[in-house]
Amino acid sequence: MSKIKLEKNTNERAIVRLKIPTKVIEDEIDTYDNDGNLEKRVVEKIVEIEFDDKALLIPARVDALPYAI
């Protein structure tokens, strides 16, 4: 069995993916038609949810030092 050695030029050992929580809200907007009449429409918007000073800790389990995550 042969081993494959991958050369790296940085010290990264992991990729961190942050997913921002969102929610869909309905918003009512006023628009005018071609005759100048006021119309109300309901549209859906995607908004971010506030984190409220919360954080997610991901422990690093890397065998060799130095490392950067």
| pTM confidence score | 0.39
Residue 68 has what pLDDT? Answer: 55
Contact, 69 vs 13, CB < 8 A?
yes
**Number of domains the chain contains:** 1
Cis amide linkage into residue 59, ω under 30° from 0:
no
Which tens digit of pLDDT belongs to each residue from 13-40? 666 677 778 899 999 988 888 888 888 9
Mean pLDDT (the chain) is 77
Contact partners, residue 68, CB within 8 Å, separation at least 6: 10, 11, 12, 13
Tell me, yes or no, whether 44 lies in a domain.
yes
Tell me, yes or no, whether 27 lies in a domain.
yes
Tell me, yes or no, whether 5 lies in a domain.
no
Mean pLDDT of 57-68: 61
Name the residue with higher pLDDT: 54 or 40: 40
Residue 5 has what pLDDT? Answer: 76
Tell me, yes or no, whether 36 lies in a domain.
yes
